[in-house]
């Protein structure tokens, strides 16, 4: 615990020192801000393109795209090949309408996996309506490590294969400045689930955490569904939903899964998502930002299937828990917190960097482990490259570490939160 506290203090003082140094460096800029540049500007300069320069501001109704090829490796998935596209557009005047965005990515792996995700965040004119979507099709493989915060960090997990289909769609109506009320439909369908280390024919049997939970809670271990409606409340004062410099975001959602609609069991859950962004100093170059994020999901009635329980890396954009593999932490209830310091490396905003630290606590009603009984900590740093200065879209590469100091690399299109 003392070692973790020391690491946290080192990162905290690093935040302060970097802000002071960057603030001093920026004081020489004065009242003449350095023009911002992105990758498109440098490509035009390198190719000596003589045509008309792109618009410096987003045009209403025009669709802007940013591409990111993905090549990587992970112990659970092997080599990964794919790509992502970030879309942004203005559906109303910039003075009263946020930027709408969508993120589409698809990948295949050398372990016969395929996944495709589409996330949308649409702001209609005057921000009168907001529509949020999360759609996934996955033929997947991933180890599971049981529920709660496990002490054995060297555990390789229990290998699983499963197919997964997600359909989430929420719509919000503005009721006051920054405040919205809405509802949604949420479907999680897991099928063709295979516990690769389950063997009930062995003497004494080999029972996996997934199988034990599913049979105890009354779910078929090969497939299950959660389907229901949600009532949602939203506060959004951010200046930009892709890369926020200031403002706050708060979401509260109550979800009721109903068996008569096709859910495997009746159940309910409560979810919250809070984010806050603070500009540090009066910078005339690209901003230095201190960002905070916390989310939590709590099972309020009934039982939720194992793979539908809250888990690290399974949030909307798969960004939580840098330092850990996706699915490493899972619980009946889960609470997550993260802070990140974002700062420019170049005065024109083309290159930037981040340092971050996060903590996760999860409960297990199988082992009677409550929340806050134990906490898993991740931390690290990353590089940012500005792809489109108009929408503030960047690509990022992060190096994250966990309690056991295992190092992992993460590629992002758009900021993590």
How far is residue 390 from each of residues 79, 149, 244, 310, 335, measured CA to CA in Å?
33, 42, 13, 35, 34
User: Is it the case that residue 212 has pLDDT exceeding 80?
Assistant: yes
| Total-model pTM | 0.86
d(CA 286, CA 392): 10
Q: What is the pLDDT of residue 285?
A: 53
User: Is it the case that residue 352 has pLDDT exceeding 90?
Assistant: yes
The candidate with the shortest Cα–Cα distance to 66, out of 416, 388, 417, 400, is 388
Q: What is the pLDDT of residue 1?
A: 46
d(CA 18, CA 13): 8
d(CA 130, CA 123): 5
d(CA 277, CA 64): 25
Q: How confident is the model over 50-80, as pLDDT tens digits?
A: 666 666 678 888 998 888 787 766 555 668 8
- Average pLDDT on 145-165 reads 82
Burial zone of 52 (CB within 10 Å; 0-12 exposed, 13-18 middle, 19+ buried): exposed
Quote the strand ranges of 152-246, DSSP E: 158-176, 179-195, 224-236
User: Is it the case that residue 284 has pLDDT exceeding 60?
Assistant: no
d(CA 333, CA 256): 16
Quote the strand ranges of 25-111, DSSP E: 64-74, 78-89, 100-109
Q: What domains are defined for the chain?
A: 2-413 (2.40.160.50)
The candidate with the shortest Cα–Cα distance to 65, out of 413, 405, 339, 311, is 413
Q: How confident is the model over 165-197, as pLDDT tens digits?
A: 999 999 999 999 999 999 999 999 999 999 998
More confident residue, 26 or 219: 219
Q: How confident is the model over 368-412, as pLDDT tens digits?
A: 888 998 899 999 999 999 988 888 889 899 999 987 677 888 888
Q: How confident is the model over 235-266, as pLDDT tens digits?
A: 999 998 889 999 999 999 999 999 999 999 99
3-state secondary structure of 21: helix
| CA atoms 142, 147, 150, 152: torsion sign | negative
């Amino acid at each position: 615990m003392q070692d973790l506290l020391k690491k946290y203090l080192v990162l905290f003082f690093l935040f302060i020192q970097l802000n002071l140094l960057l603030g001093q460096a920026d004081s020489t800029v004065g009242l003449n801000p350095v023009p911002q540049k992105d990758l498109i500007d440098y490509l035009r300069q390198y190719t000596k393109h003589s045509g008309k320069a792109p618009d410096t501001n987003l045009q209403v109704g025009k669709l802007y795209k940013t591409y990111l090829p993905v090549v990587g490796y992970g112990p659970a998935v092997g080599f990964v090949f794919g790509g992502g596209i970030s879309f942004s557009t203005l559906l109303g005047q910039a003075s009263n309408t946020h930027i709408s965005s969508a993120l589409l990515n698809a990948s295949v792996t050398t372990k016969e996996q395929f996944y495709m995700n589409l996330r949308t965040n649409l702001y209609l004119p005057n921000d009168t309506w907001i529509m949020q979507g999360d759609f996934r099709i996955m033929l997947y493989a991933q180890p599971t490590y049981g529920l709660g915060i496990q002490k054995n960090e060297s555990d390789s997990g229990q290998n699983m294969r499963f197919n997964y289909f997600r359909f989430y769609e929420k719509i919000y109506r503005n009721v006051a400045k920054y405040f919205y009320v809405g509802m949604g439909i949420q479907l999680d369908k897991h099928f063709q689930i295979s516990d690769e280390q389950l063997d009930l024919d062995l003497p004494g049997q080999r029972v996996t955490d997934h199988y034990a939970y599913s049979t105890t809670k009354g779910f078929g271990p090969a497939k299950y569904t959660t389907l229901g409606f949600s009532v949602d409340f939203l506060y959004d004062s951010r200046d930009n939903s892709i890369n926020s410099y200031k403002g706050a975001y708060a979401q509260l959602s109550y979800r009721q899964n109903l068996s008569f609609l096709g859910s495997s069991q009746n159940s309910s859950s409560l979810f919250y998502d809070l984010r806050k962004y603070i500009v540090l100093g009066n910078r005339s170059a690209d901003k230095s930002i201190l960002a905070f994020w916390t989310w939590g999901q709590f099972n309020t009635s009934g039982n939720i299937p194992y793979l539908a329980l809250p888990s690290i890396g399974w949030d909307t954009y798969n960004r939580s828990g840098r330092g850990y593999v996706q699915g490493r932490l899972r619980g009946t209830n889960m609470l997550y917190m993260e802070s990140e310091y974002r700062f420019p490396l170049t005065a024109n905003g083309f290159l930037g960097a981040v340092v971050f630290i996060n903590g996760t606590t999860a409960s297990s009603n199988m082992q009677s482990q409550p929340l806050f009984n134990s906490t898993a900590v991740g931390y690290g740093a990353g590089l940012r490259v500005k792809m489109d200065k108009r929408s503030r879209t960047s690509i990022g590469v992060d190096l994250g570490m966990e309690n056991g100091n295992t190092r992992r690399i993460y590629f992002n299109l758009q900021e993590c939160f």
